[in-house]
Structure 1
Amino acid sequence: MDTLAQLRAGQLAGIKRLDLSCGLSEFPQEIFDLADSLEVLNLTGNALSRLPDDLHRLTRLRVLFCSDNAFTELPACLGQCAQLSMIGFKANRIEHVPGTALPPLLRWLILTDNCISELPAELGERPHLQKLMLAGNRLLQLPASLSQCHQLELIRIAANRLTELPQWLLSLPRLAWLAYAGNPLESEADASALDATPNIPWSQLYLQQRLGEGASGVIHQALWEQPSQAAQNVAVKLYKGSMTSDGSPLHEMNACITAGQHANLIKVEGRIVDHPQAQAGLVMHFIAPSYRNLAALPSLASCTRDIYEDSTKFSAVVALRIASGIASAAAHLHQQGITHGDLYGHNILWNAQGDCLLGDFGAASFHATSDSFETRALQRIEVRAFGILLGELLERIESGLSAEGRELLEDLQTRCCQPEVLARPGFAEIGRELQGMESLPVI
């Protein structure tokens, strides 16, 4: 983290990224001294309520973070920043978003956890818009102009006041990741599954090392000591309870439970009760250390695409097993009336044999299990996410794949990603095709 003293002393000349979190209530004018180099400005965690009208003097500025501040309006000066493509104003008190605040190259907009009830029509006039984060606001509808955003791939609209998903949204040709939980339009979770989940007293759990932390909670390894039984290694996820970019963590917990059991999902052992701070949590099956994440989260530059290590390579057999496992898990979820909403490599654990687990239900949403345009469209939007994953696996197969086998997989990948949403195959069909390929000598 850079310091205000360093900035004022001229010690940061030439830097491309500046991070300042020191209780600022006014924008430091010394930032303009960095105009020849500054590309990323992070002012998260201050007390700012306005930005200077001449912000456009930062001619190289591409990324601006102003989350956890005191803005009540998205600053209009942003619209004059010619190179600005990513804007983050999460957890402010924003009520008004002027159309003039949206820069021409806008690609990624984060307005999570604010007080916004309406968005400007100009949002749909930003042709590069690819990622839109709007969870935790007061939106009653989305601007119809968004139907023109044919590059939009990820949208988070959970925890708003939407009563319907417009048909144009479900028909966007590149949309792959959609989260809409916690709106009046959403179907209810399966109450029988929630009621049948065992309650596990906090007193039976002994936390050990931390395994990881995400936007919605912290995961620890733990010992579960039940009366008259041997202690069992488990994973404990304690939810933070605050709004994330995907939606409500408590909704995520319900989705995990309702998903039920499947070989390619992490088993839920039960729900924690009697936590001393009344914190919500789940006890889950402990995953062997041989499993690792398939990919890392997208970067600022990749936007909606995961980052893979150069060393991540597969045999055709392993890649096909991963693809089949995830397709099977997604088919199971859809049968339960759940869309995962975040079907990505970074949410997949795998081992050297190709065993895999789909995790992180933070963006999951419930939909009707009856057949309808909306149900089919929601499921086929997720199919496009799978098609992108399949393409990433294909790029990393280094052995065991014949020319015929590659052609079959590339054809399936193309059909999963085609722009006509309802023309994509469903996961049941995808699973059958992948299983058929496993028996072919060409793979």
Structure 2
Amino acid sequence: MVIKEGTGTPGHSAPVHTSPHSLDDLRAGRLAGLKRLDLSCGLKEFPREIFELADTLEVLNLSGNALQQLPDDLHRLTRLRVLFASDNLFTDLPESIGQCLALQIVGFKANQISHVPAQALPPRLRWLILTDNRIQRLPEALGDCQALQKLMLAGNQLQKLPSSLARCEQLELVRIAANQLTQLPSWLLELPSLAWLAYAGNPLCTEPAQPAVRQIPWQQLHVQQQLGEGASGVIQQAHWHSPHQAEKAVAIKLYKGSVTSDGSPLNEMAACIAAGNHANLIGIEGQILDHPQGQSGLVMQLIAPSFANLAGPPSLESCTRDIYPAAMRLSLSVVLRIAHGIASVTAHLHACGMTHGDLYGHNILWQADGTCLLGDFGAASFHPAAAYGHALERIETRAFGILLGELLNRCEEDASQLTALRQLQARCVQPAVNERPALRDIEPLLRF
């Protein structure tokens, strides 16, 4: 048996890792006609030879270098749609980016950026990644980016968000965890398209008292092979030898200390513990005690290998939408079982005073009969106050509605048999946040 982890990281925050190209090949002209260029070779200056690809280049990945500047004439790359420059040494978001008229996706994660000038925002911006920087404020001009769908700002020093973002009616995913925010602005909770929101690790949040959880000494765990690795930690199979029970096969997750695109891994661990038990959650056996390197971790139940991810994470093209197998077809009974299970477990989380924040098919494990488990709590956030709960839960209702729509689009049944479900789905995604149904009211409607 194996435990599987949601694979949200590539689709949500970073370029899909590919083999980097050679600077020598670029300079020798051997990369002519390239649409995507990946250069990670300790660059301290932007190679001017990149401009020789201007007629074809659409994706430029300069992550993992030592760059501090981009050229003023970057706009010569007239076809450039995607620019990644994570893990560099930028202190300002370069203004030349704003002159790239075709540019839609900009990623500068893990730099040293403290200044984001208004001039650096390209007019067609859909997806902005500024995770893990030093930003204290953002320009009001961000609200002029009417095509903005995805905004990744976790791990900065923001004390407030520009109110102009209220005009970004296509904004669907917002990551503002691990900042210095003291409140969630009312306009944020009223955005008509917002479905995925993460805000843990801000002063506005007060984590509830942790429920009692079993402490499992590291010495009782015999680690075996690695099962997976995500942005927040590493999962390994292990045997648990306890003097009070027979040897048990388990999985352990050791959390990393760095900020991810969603927020803090330690917030994720706290949310997993607080979520407690539910038939559609991966069970928690206990918390690891006395790890030799002081790492925090959980011991979890193993999951049968018949479970698989329901979907793949969003691509650069789909932005906020998961990628499903083209030939995927589901019976109505399977659709109902998945939808009911996810509605039930999400309502359970809401009753625990939290939102999942990343309710997506790629974070759901499923079997052919529709049995399903919700995983990946990296974006989970506790309600900062009871007054916020209604709006926060209705934002997540929209995420559920998008998921339900994706399932119905792959249902084999005749459209006439899906009328009631289509009507429910429409209620879940309607732009008026307060008029969406609660998940606790949706769950009984989906019983099969």
State the TM bucket, normalised to the shorter chain: over 0.9
- Check if 1:125 corresponds to 2:137: no
Deviation at 1:279, TM superposition (A): 1.2
Aligned to 1:424: 436
1:189: Cα distance to partner? Answer: 2.8
Q: Secondary structure at the match of 1:5?
A: helix
2:16 aligned residue: none
Return the offset for 1:404.
4.5
Deviation at 1:368, TM superposition (A): 5.2
Q: Bigger CA drift: 291-300 or 303-312? A: 303-312
Does residue 378 in structure 1 map to residue 392 in structure 2?
yes
Q: In the alignment, what sits opposite 2:17?
A: none
1:18 and 1:402, CA in 2 relative to 1: closer, same or farther beyond 3 A? closer
The aligned runs of 1:1-20 (5 Å cut-off) are: 1-20=20-39
Amino acid at match of 2:222: Y
Q: How does 1:12-411 map to 2 (within 5 A)?
A: 12-191=31-210, 193=211, 196-227=212-243, 229-367=245-383, 370=386, 372=387, 374-398=388-412, 401-411=413-423
2 CA distance for matches of 1:403 and 1:240? 46
Q: How far is 1:186 from its partner? A: 1.4
Secondary structure of the residue that 1:200 maps to in structure 2? strand
SS in 2 for 1:141: coil
Displacement of 1:93 in angstroms is 0.4
Describe the SS at the equivalent of 2:300: strand
CA distance in structure 1 between the partners assigned to 2:417 and 2:261 by the alignment = 39
Q: 1:83 to 1:185 in 2, by over 3 A?
A: same
Which aligned segments of 4 or more residues in structure 1 are displaced greater than 3 angstroms? 401-405
8 Å Cα contact 1:336-1:369 kept in structure 2: no
Q: Deviations over 1:142-173 (max 9, x none)?
A: 00000000000000000000011011000000
What are structure 2's unaligned runs of at least 5 residues?
Answer: 1-19
In structure 2, what is the equivalent of residue 441 of structure 1?
A: none
Whether contact under 8 Å (2:171, 2:193) holds in the other structure is: yes
The 2-side partners of 1:285 and 1:389 are apart by 26
Range with bigger deviation, 266-275 or 208-217: 208-217
Deviation sequence 1:79-126 (CA, Å, 0-9, x none): 000100000000000000000000000000000000000000010000
SS of aligned partner of 2:379: coil
| Aligned pairs, number | 429
Determine helix, strand or coil for the equivalent of 2:171: coil
TM-score when normalising by structure 2: 0.94
- Secondary structure of 1:255's counterpart equals helix
Q: For residues 155 and 281 of structure 2, what CA distance do their matches in structure 1 show?
A: 27
In 1: Cα distance, 2:193 partner to 2:417 partner: 26
Task: Tell me the C-alpha RMSD between the 2 structures.
Answer: 1.0
TM-aligned CA deviation for residue 228 of structure 1: 5.0
Identical-pair percentage: 66
Asked if the contact 2:204/2:384 (under 8 Å) is kept, the reply is: no
Ranked by relative contact order (alpha carbons within 8 Å, sequence separation 6 or more), the top structure is: 2
Whole-angstrom CA distance in 2 between matches of 1:145 and 1:369: 25
Quote the offset at 1:380 in angstroms: 0.3
Matched residue SS, 2:93: coil
Deviations 1:367-419 (A, max 9, x none): 1574x3x2110000000000000000001112xx3544300110000000000
Counterpart CA distance in 2 for 1:310 and 1:402 is 19
AA paired with 2:249? N
Matched position secondary structure for 2:235: strand
Distance in 1 (alpha carbons) for counterparts of 2:38 and 2:295: 32
* CA distance, structure 1, for counterparts of residue 209 and residue 362 of structure 2: 27
TM-score computed with the length of structure 1 as normaliser: 0.95
